[in-house]
Amino acid sequence: MNSWITNNVWLIPAAPIAASLLILAFGKAARRAAAAVAIVGQIAALTMSIFAFVPTLHSHGFRAVQNFTWFTFGEQILRIGFVLDPLAAAMLLMIALVGLCIFVFSIGYMGEDKNFSRFFAYLSFFSGAMLGVVVANSLLLLFVFWELVGLASYLLIGFWIERPSAAAAAKKAFITTRIGDMGFFLGILLLYHRSGTLLFYDGGRGCLEPVALSAIGSSVTLVALLIFCGAMGKSGQFPLHVWLPDAMEGPTPVSALIHAATMVAAGVFLVARVYPIFSVGAINGVTPSLTVVVWIGVITGLMAALIAIAQFDIKRILAYSTVSQLGLMMVSLGAGGVAAGIMHLLAHGFFKALLFLGAGSVIHGLHHEQDIRKMGGLHRLMPITFLTYAVGMMALSGVPFFFSGGWTKEEILHATSNWPRSHLPHYLALIGVILTALYMTRQIIYVFFGNRRAASEHAHESPSVMAIPLIVLAVCAVFLSVVLTPAWPWLESYLTGHPARFDARLLIQPMIVVSLALVGAGVSVGIWMYRRAGEADPLQHAQPALFRFLENKMWIDEIYGRTVIALSAILARLSDWMDRHVWDALVQDIGRIGQFFGRVTTSADERVINAGVDESTSGAHGLGRLMSRWHSGQIQTYLGAVALGMLALVLLYAWLG
């Protein structure tokens, strides 16, 4: 069974995609069947992921690769393949499990929607595409699934297509990520040009293996940065982060899937997957491309955390927290903490899905109210949601010891403190940790404590189909911390291949104390600031100008509107003018030449040829009248006659030959 799955990894993404096609074939009416098929597909993917996970445990550095020829184009052989290694196996497990929870939650959340079955079809497709990204062993195949993820996110963000804002958000997400993908594709081309292969691992000849890496030569930094463009688009890194908060227009389970398990994880995963390209020629673990990754990550992380403080939409706050956490992951990857970054990605997958589904449960309970200023006092009305949300909040804030996020964040801080180039990212990351604790405290106080405000009058706890996924995810977010502690860094050793030993003395590290102090500071400042928060935000009261700056997302959208978008509008108008006045005139002139020739031949016809023909026609007239009975003017009759004549010829030919 185990070896069977390692040789057929492609089945894992195939299961949800097949489910998606099946649902689309059922049509709109089969609501129950649609949900059942989607969940069965996801369970199949989860089961296979578990079976695929088992063999990777047996040996360190396990890697199973199957490559095959896609097609031969003359002498060029294009090969693609699938790979199973610890990185892929851990991601598979996370995506399949988180995806399953979100699917189950969606049954409750989307229960009233008229396009329920279409929603599940897209959801399955999304999950399958992301699983495909993870197991691809070729940059080209990865790119294919990558674009499928983009397509699925477009369909899902714009799921409520009748809302203009949803349609606009979907378009924005698609176009913004496409800008990054443009760079990604150029990077793929350049890599192929230099190394002659796009397979990651190919028995020593793959593009992540030493022979090909040395063949890339001096352009390796360019290749790495171009690939990073794609990751920037997908993982919402500055300056391409603008689509991610707008993606909140989609249904909440979609936000959970985009922000936790699939879309944004793809970018971080991509960088981790092609890490050898980034780290070629590293001196002390520093290369130019990795330095760019670090700084982009730092800017993104800090900027998004600041913006999150001044948002009032419950989902937008979470969206900016995702952007900020992704920035942190990028910092970690760039500073050499690959395992730490991926561990944070995995842990983040669980607790961010938990937070989004919790937010979904709140929104559902409050009849689609998303403004936190209208909530409040929900901890009694929605106890399960409150408890699970609190778990997610503490994991996100990085409370150490019991919550997975605490350990992974500590690992990231550790990695950044060891970065030889500069200590600034480390300190900025520490500030990011305080800010995270602060805005999460603000959100939880607004939503669950204090007086009940307008929307919470009729609040109700969500049904169990929505509560159970929350509980499962909360348990995962806590349980995962067992394998993350520095005392027994099992997950890290699993990812890096270094054996892990249990050592209780390592449990207390200086960094743990630091992060505990920072989180404590963030939470207490939050409680002190927002203890009497009402309709108006205390920060808004104290610093109106700063608050407005942050509330409007630092005016980045507006800056883009004035610069990039305005420029492309000018270009569009220019090419429109060219079309109308230059090309069109050219075409018309060519047309006139044709007309002129036409006139010349007509007059020749009439004066020279017709005169002679007229004579003979009158003789043919009688015969023509006879034949004209056959000519019904129906082109199809003529065609049929031609076909029958051809048939007769074929038969004659076969008869004789």
Number of C-beta neighbours around residue 171 at 10 A:
15
Q: How far is the CB of 72 from another protein (least distance, A)?
A: 6
If we measure between CA atoms, which residue out of 627, 453, 421, 442 comes closest to residue 526? 442
**Considering the rule CB under 8 A, would residue 165 count as an interface residue with another protein?**
no
If we measure between CA atoms, which residue out of 398, 428, 434, 259 comes closest to residue 334? 428
- Give the nearer residue to another protein in terms of CB position, either 68 or 545: 68
Residues 427 and 417 sit within 8 Å (Cβ to Cβ) = no
Q: How far is the CB of 606 from another protein (least distance, A)?
A: 20
Query: What token pair was written down for 247?
Result: 């993606």
Query: What token pair was written down for 394?
Result: 């503490």
**Considering the rule CB under 8 A, would residue 657 count as an interface residue with another protein?**
yes
One of 1, 3, 71, 596 touching another protein (CB under 8 A): 71
DSSP helix/strand/coil, 287: coil
- Give the nearer residue to another protein in terms of CB position, either 559 or 600: 600
**Considering the rule CB under 8 A, would residue 647 count as an interface residue with another protein?**
yes
**Is it true that the peptide bond before 239 is cis, omega within 30 degrees of 0?**
yes
- Give the nearer residue to another protein in terms of CB position, either 544 or 645: 645
**Considering the rule CB under 8 A, would residue 628 count as an interface residue with another protein?**
yes
- Give the nearer residue to another protein in terms of CB position, either 368 or 625: 625
One of 591, 600, 605, 613 touching another protein (CB under 8 A): 591
Residues 338 and 268 sit within 8 Å (Cβ to Cβ) = no
Which of 135-143, 193-201, 612-620, 635-643 is the region at the interface with another protein (rule: CB under 8 A)?
635-643
Which of 130-138, 280-288, 484-492, 625-633 is the region at the interface with another protein (rule: CB under 8 A)?
625-633
- Give the nearer residue to another protein in terms of CB position, either 211 or 643: 643
User: With CB under 8 A, what is the number of residues at the site for another protein?
Assistant: 33
Q: How far apart are CA 171 and CA 164, in angstroms?
A: 11
**Considering the rule CB under 8 A, would residue 622 count as an interface residue with another protein?**
no
**Considering the rule CB under 8 A, would residue 643 count as an interface residue with another protein?**
yes
Residues 333 and 293 sit within 8 Å (Cβ to Cβ) = yes
Strand partners, 272: none
For another protein, the binding residues in 72-131 under the rule CB under 8 A are 72-75
Cα distances (Å, whole numbers) of residue 591 to 333, 477, 580, 597, 605: 61, 70, 16, 10, 21
Strand partners, 90: none
DSSP 100-131: HHHHHHHHHHTTT-TTHHHHHHHHHHHHHHHH
- Sort 27 into a burial class: Cβ within 10 Å, 0-12 / 13-18 / 19+: exposed
One of 590, 600, 609, 613 touching another protein (CB under 8 A): 590
- Give the nearer residue to another protein in terms of CB position, either 424 or 639: 639
**Considering the rule CB under 8 A, would residue 164 count as an interface residue with another protein?**
no
**Considering the rule CB under 8 A, would residue 656 count as an interface residue with another protein?**
no
**Considering the rule CB under 8 A, would residue 571 count as an interface residue with another protein?**
no
Which of 27-35, 324-332, 345-353, 646-654 is the region at the interface with another protein (rule: CB under 8 A)?
646-654
Q: Which residues bind another protein (CB under 8 A)?
A: 71-75, 587-588, 590-591, 594-595, 624-625, 627-629, 631-636, 639-640, 643-644, 646-647, 650-651, 653-654, 657
